[in-house]
Chain A
Amino acid sequence: MKLRTILLATTGSLMAAPMAFGDAHGNMANSMTLVSWGGAYQASQIAAYSNPYQEMHPDVEMIWDESSPEAVARLRAMEEAGNITWDLVDVEAADAIRLCDEGLAMEIDANEVLAPAPDGTEAEDDFGEMLVNDCFIPQIVFSTVAAYRTDQVPAGVEPPSGACDLFDLETYPGQRALNRNPIANMEWALLCDGVAYEDVYDALETEEGIAQAFAMLDTIKDQTIWWSSAAEAVQLLADGEVFMATSYNGRWFSAIAEQNQPIGMAWDWQMLDLDGWIIPEGLPEDRLARVLDFVYFATDTQRLADQAAYISYGPARASSAPLVGTHAELGIEMAPHMPTDPANGENTFVNNYLWWADYRDDLDARFQAWLAQ
């Protein structure tokens, strides 16, 4: 019954949405604040989405805020104040689920709000499983993956091949840089300690599993610098502060291909995840109209494919995949650099964002306490 009411409500209001685009054109706000992750990723969004949009609408001002890591906190504070200053927020799937559950993100009907594929396939089918809930507008598939300094690999040793080499201090001595939150780290700790792929999340629901993961992480705790923004990890590796680090595959790509840093990627057990937009709940009508207009444009098949010309993230639409071409400046073929390319890593695991939405609070508390001790 709940589902029915939601469907009724959304279709009801969204039957009107295309009309709203038409007649409310004069009522669209001329400024929007977009929130993203900064660095190479945000640059690719600006190049692929907002620059072409601004060419079509030169009077629209776009403000970019690099606050995605704190998106949930900020949106809560804004809701408490009843003053939503953001228009469109880029978040990971797990955060989108949290925001949607708390009523901080707006529920949308993908078929109404998002453009169909060029062949007429409806958005819902084109995005398929990527639409993890009613609020999430997927953009990319990315992966968290390990990388290392190619010039510091000990003599006579094979370079690291995957995330498990992070834990192998004997073969690969040196500092590590890992994300300062439990996601991916806990799973890797278990996988590399011999837990089977399909048992990882079950194990993390038990005390013993959590203890096992922490015990594994303990072996490298003192050798690790914990980063809070993805660019930091790239910087640490580029500066030679650490030997191995984890970050998002697109960041590594831009460090390796665009900045020619002596960095190699260790793809094995890369963790796939989704990233996309959410629209904050409670936007005034004129701003909502502008955001919907932008989102319709920025998530169409061509735009998602265009983004892949700037950063090596896989577009979330099935119809975009064949359009992925070469890098905008370097001219290299992008497909082999995508996390979804089968050549990249023997093992891949998919972030169970539904599980993380449920357990994030629990594990965060324990992870942060572990980290501080």
Chain B
Amino acid sequence: MDHKLPPYATLGQRIWFYAFRVICGLIFFFLIAPILTIIPLSFNAESFFTFTPGMLALDPEAYSLRHYVDFFTNPDWQQALRNSVMIAPVATILSVSLGTLAAIGLSQSHVPFKGAIMAILISPMIVPLIISAAGMYFFYSRIGLQGTYWGVVLAHAALGIPFVIITVTATLVGFDRSLTRAAASLGANPVTTFFRIQMPLILPGVISGGLFAFITSFDEVVVVIFVGSAAQQTLPWQMFTGLREQISPTILAVATILVVISIGLLTVVELLRRRSERLRGMSPG
């Protein structure tokens, strides 16, 4: 089926054409509606999770920012936010720096055991989180990292690494090796070559890998519950506790804020992807 209905289509084809669009519309609705529903609910003036009659009548009285105020004034949520902000960037820096180096190494033409190494490096993404969390809980307990800030940072860094590897290797796939050779033959040393030639080209991949790693840590809840202790209670952990115990609408306010952050990050990644493709001349944005 094409995106336009040919003028000679039969009635059946017409019906199917529109029915298909409606089905797709419904699926898109399924994808996006749950996320959008919670945004208006987070402005609910009451502590309920349903649309009050006032909200449906668009009565401004029925809307309020009280749940946002609660988020920004409640010490528990603020502590959780602080913890998240202290953990995620450090974990990201760790995974990006180590991951980028390794991705460059992996993109060389003769790497022994490449397949096996790749499989190990990607495994944190594939191994079920509960298994990673259980393993880390026992092992980090043994070496005294359980319940510490660095324990959580290291665990999150490990979880973020596959994303960095994948995005950076993807940008390196289209990388023209003759550029580094040209630089080398013109007398640049490897370090100069890296920073002047390679880095600018793979930077979009590095940044989007970094964003993925950041969001992984910022959103992660299973591992932090096991590896962390109260002093490392992050935003998702606080949300998880809240969801299991008292779903105060403050959670919806936090959720809305996180959605806005996600939209922002998504935009950045998309722009970077286009820039990277343009730079490598793969496809017009």
Contacts and interface: CB of A to CB of B under 8 A. Distances in A.
Interface in A200-254: 228-229, 231-232, 234-235, 239
Contacts of A85: 147, 229
B2 interface: no
Interface in B230-251: 230-231, 241, 244-247
Contacts of A239: 49
Contact of A65 (B49, B229, B246): B229
Interface string A10-42: 000000000000000000000001010011000
A80 B147 CA distance: 14
Contacts of A77: 137-138, 141, 146
Nearest to A33: B230
Contacts of B284: none
Contacts of B141: 77-78, 80-81, 83
Given A33-B229, A39-B246, A77-B137, A66 B241 contact: yes
Interface in B132-170: 137-138, 141-144, 146-147
A103 B49 CA distance: 46
B245 A235 contact: yes
Category for how many chain A residues contact B: 20 to 34
Given A81-B146, A83-B144, A39 B245 contact: yes
A77 B136 CA distance: 12
A81 B142 contact: yes
Nearest to A229: B245
Interface string B109-144: 000000000000000000000000000011001111
A258 B141 CA distance: 41
A231 B229 contact: no
B75 to A, nearest CB: 11
A33 B245 CA distance: 22
B252 to A, nearest CB: 14
A80 B142 contact: yes
A37 B146 CA distance: 21
A66 B245 CA distance: 12
A315 B137 CA distance: 37
B231 A83 contact: no
Given A33-B229, A63-B230, A66-B230, A231 B146 contact: no
Contact of B144 (A63, A82, A229, A231): A82
B144 A81 contact: yes
The secondary structure that dominates the A interface is mixed
Contacts of A65: 229-230
Contacts of A35: 230
B231 A228 contact: no
B243 to A, nearest CB: 10
Q: Which of B138, B143, B244 has the most CB of A within 10 A?
A: B244
Interface string A115-137: 00000000000000000000000
Contacts of B144: 81-83
Interface in B67-106: none
B240 to A, nearest CB: 11
Given A65-B230, A80-B141, A232 B146 contact: no
A33 B231 CA distance: 9
Interface in A97-115: none
A344 B143 CA distance: 51
B231 A63 contact: yes
A232 B243 CA distance: 9
A80 B49 CA distance: 44
Given A38-B241, A80-B142, A81-B142, A231 B246 contact: yes
Contact of A38 (B137, B142, B143, B245): B245
Contacts of A33: 229-231
A189 to B, nearest CB: 26
A63 B232 CA distance: 10
A67 B230 contact: yes
Interface in B197-234: 229-231
Given A77-B141, A80-B142, A81-B144, A232 B245 contact: yes
B230 A228 contact: no
A86 to B, nearest CB: 8
A231 B245 contact: yes
A197 interface: no
B148 to A, nearest CB: 8
B230 A229 contact: no
Contacts of B146: 77-78, 81, 83
Contacts of A66: 230, 241
Q: Which of B143, B146, B147 has the most CB of A within 10 A?
A: B147
A64 interface: yes
A229 B246 CA distance: 10
Top 4 A-B residue pairs of the complex, sorted by shortest distance between their CB atoms: A65-B230, A231-B245, A81-B141, A85-B147
16 contacts: A33-B230, A33-B231, A35-B230, A38-B241, A39-B245, A63-B231, A65-B229, A66-B230, A66-B241, A81-B141, A83-B146, A83-B147, A228-B244, A232-B245, A235-B245, A235-B247
Given A81-B142, A232-B244, 20 more contacts: A35-B230, A38-B241, A39-B245, A63-B230, A65-B229, A65-B230, A66-B241, A67-B229, A77-B137, A77-B141, A78-B146, A78-B147, A80-B141, A81-B144, A82-B144, A83-B146, A83-B147, A229-B245, A231-B246, A232-B245
